[in-house]
Structure 1
Amino acid sequence: MELLTIGTFAKASRLSPKALRLYDELGLLTPAHVDPVSGYRLYAPEQLERARLVAWLRRLGMPLARIRHIGTLEPAAAAQEIRTFWAQVEADTAARRNLASFLIDHLSRKDPGMSPATAPLDIRYAALSDPGRVRGHHQDTVHAGPRLLAVADGFGSGGALASAAAVDALRHLETDGIPAGSLLDVLQDAAESAAEQARQAVADPAGDGPEEAGTTLTAMLWTGSQLALVHIGDARVHLLRDGELFQITHDHTLVQSMVDEGRLTPEEAASHPQRSLLLRALGRGADGSPDLHLHDARAGDRYLLCSDGLPAVVTTEEIRRVLSGAGDPEQAVRELVALANDFGGPDNVSCVVADVVEVRA
């Protein structure tokens, strides 16, 4: 068997000689032979496949320790490990994308030229939460106030405590002032506090009980002309504007990630047996950071925050019909909850509806 010099092997594998020396030192790609006198490294041609895999994985940004682990796996297990890694990369990228969008919006609004003067705005709101017709326990928590709108949907043992704790951690936003330029910090601090309170609520000193317990959290903070959104989990926010209904949150669920990857259609996701499996939430055994967004408000806008108990049984078109026809937020939440129960009410259902209105002098 003719061995390849490090230069030849580097060219064929698209790895530099410097990288090959490093990977040898780390035990990631050991040469077939090292000259005992000169220390010159020689490689077998059959090592090229592994070297090329290492090069490709490095292009993905995979850490060397994880690449070394993949090298110990059978092909099917290695493929699954790469799939898991890339799902994490995409989730991290999405979180950074959302943060970048938030910062762009936040800084743009500091430019007077990009903030046209409008009439003063305010919100009118209502909230309603119902256990549904099937569940023997109620784990949703809602809040609607002059500045804060929130829906949290608990899961697992202690889910009701987790959802209540997460929402309670945000209630101070109703009265606390927000210093100029600190909205992002305020939202981040509030989200971290909610996560910590949710974890404490489901803490199990004995180490017993389910591995996962916690809550989703979707909340909007009224700032006078914008609504700042904090979102993690599968509760949803819809905006009804000029008769059109828009979903402005993204579900953090397994099936939604499969839709994003093109592995499922939205129609298939709606009936998938794992449609409730969360990828991001707050609490014990949960992981992930919330999405942050800013939304310009317009007079006439109607916002809906709801737990997944509503869209699980009520179609988007039915939701749009109710939101378009209800005269005020109180009527809207009553009709939406009643509609979910009319369709069997298999889950807790919670709704907050807020109308953006002009303030009359």
Structure 2
Amino acid sequence: MDEFTTGAFARATGLTRKALRLYDDLDLLRPGRTDPVTGYRYYAAAQLPVARRVAWLRRVGMPLVRIRACSDLPPAEMAVVVRDWWAQEEAAGVERGGLVAALVEALEEDGMPETEKRLTLRLRCGAATAQGPVRDRQQDSAGGEEWFAVVADGFGPDGAEVSARAIEAVARAQGCGPGEVLAALDAVRGAVQDTTGAVRRPVSAGDVDPSVSGSTVTALVLTSDQRLALVHVGDSRAWLLRDGVLTRLTHDHTLVRSMVEAGTLTEEEAASHPQRTALLRALAPGQDGPDLALHSVREGDRYLLATDGLHGQVAPEAVAAVLIGSPGPVEASRALIDLALAAGAPDNVAVAVADIVC
């Protein structure tokens, strides 16, 4: 059959007639032709694959505006877009779950006798940066105090200024809830947008206009309910050292990571891919905001935040050895910088180490 009536096309694709009318109105899925006399709509057989993909995307809950943006892509490129969207949905679910858990714990604690309430925790931080022998300027920033630790990797003409603004925004979050941390970073993103052009959101090439400035951000903020808010966007990373075991906490927002997760690239291929630093998300105009997760903490936990100038050159085993063997965060951060420099440091590097103490 080369042509379908609306009813036959609905049955073949799993879409309802009402949905087909809506998609026609939205210019998402137009009929192949419309009879000028009867007004009946007819769909071509060649439209079946696209219509079936639209039906699947609606079943999994993708908004129509996002379906419209990717419905004409080749299947391989659509797979990358869908996986990236789902990663954002999962992150949002984790965020909501963490916020609910934090609320429940706070309510339970409010009902406890004063003698049973938790000890007040704080961070003991060390932070360090290095330009390295290759780069002609330093665009990475790091910072930390009793309530926060953060690293940021700037890019573009004003990348150093953007990364510094990100550090300042996180530093202002003392005593805040996690949502206020995101609001502070969104304000930075708005300020960046006022002074730079629009970023072309990468789909398959991962390319960002070199005239546009932005920054990655990975931050820990001790919130008012004594949890750690982990705020993250880009390819800087966060790890937790607990009971001698080093665990990575963040997910890279890069082209090659999305390709690995889509099964089109192996981990080995990703390590040497020419676009391994191409960002899909960052603190920049036109980009999605940072991910947020909430973590319960223990006294004695040690956290590491680092830009890709460290983890791109130093093996995880060497990083873990430094974190385990260093007496304090200041010593650990300096030792990690030394490791990156010894490895050649082809990029700027910034690290922040934070211990949970009472």
Q: TM-score, normalised by structure 1?
A: 0.81
Match in the other structure for 2:202: none
Match in the other structure for 2:205: none
Give secondary structure in 2 for the equivalent of 1:89.
Answer: helix
Match in the other structure for 2:250: 249
Residues 233, 291 of structure 2: 8 Å contact kept: yes
Residues 123, 148 of structure 2: 8 Å contact kept: no
CA distance in 2 between counterparts of 1:226 and 1:331 reads 25
Match in the other structure for 1:233: 234
Match in the other structure for 1:41: 40
Residues 12, 48 of structure 1: 8 Å contact kept: no
Please give the residue correspondences for 1:318-337 in structure 2 after superposition, counting only pairs within 5 Å. Answer: 318-337=318-337
**1:92 to partner: Cα distance:** 3.5
**1:279 to partner: Cα distance:** 0.8
Q: Is 1:162 matched with 2:158?
A: no
Residues 126, 329 of structure 1: 8 Å contact kept: yes
Match in the other structure for 2:353: 353
Give secondary structure in 1 for the equivalent of 2:138.
Answer: coil
**1:151 to partner: Cα distance:** 0.8
Match in the other structure for 2:56: 59
Residue identity opposite 2:122 in structure 1: D
CA distance in 1 between counterparts of 2:130 and 2:219 reads 18
Please give the residue correspondences for 1:282-361 in structure 2 after superposition, counting only pairs within 5 Å. Answer: 282-284=283-285, 287-358=287-358
Residue identity opposite 1:215 in structure 2: S
Deviations 1:173-220 (A, max 9, x none): 24xx44xxxx133122112122223445x5379xxx934321111111
Give secondary structure in 2 for the equivalent of 1:310.
Answer: helix
Match in the other structure for 1:213: 213
CA distance in 2 between counterparts of 1:268 and 1:185 reads 37
Deviations 1:287-325 (A, max 9, x none): 111011111111111111111100010011110000000
Q: Is 1:194 matched with 2:188?
A: yes
Number of aligned positions between the proteins: 339
Q: Is 1:105 matched with 2:101?
A: yes
Q: TM-score, normalised by structure 2?
A: 0.82
Residues 170, 181 of structure 2: 8 Å contact kept: no
Residues 199, 214 of structure 1: 8 Å contact kept: no
CA distance in 1 between counterparts of 2:299 and 2:128 reads 23
Residue identity opposite 1:298 in structure 2: R
Relative to structure 2, which stretch is displaced further, 124-133 or 95-104?
95-104
Q: Which runs of 5+ in 1 are unaligned?
A: none
Residues 13, 48 of structure 1: 8 Å contact kept: no
CA distance in 2 between counterparts of 1:354 and 1:70 reads 41
Cα distance change, pair 249–30 in 1 and its aligned pair in 2 (3 A): closer
**1:3 to partner: Cα distance:** 7.3
Match in the other structure for 2:178: 184
* Root mean square deviation of aligned Cα: 3.3
CA distance in 1 between counterparts of 2:118 and 2:67 reads 55
Deviations 1:259-294 (A, max 9, x none): 22222333332222211111111124x511101111
CA distance in 1 between counterparts of 2:284 and 2:22 reads 40
Match in the other structure for 2:89: 93
- Give 1 or 2 for the bigger CA radius of gyration: 1
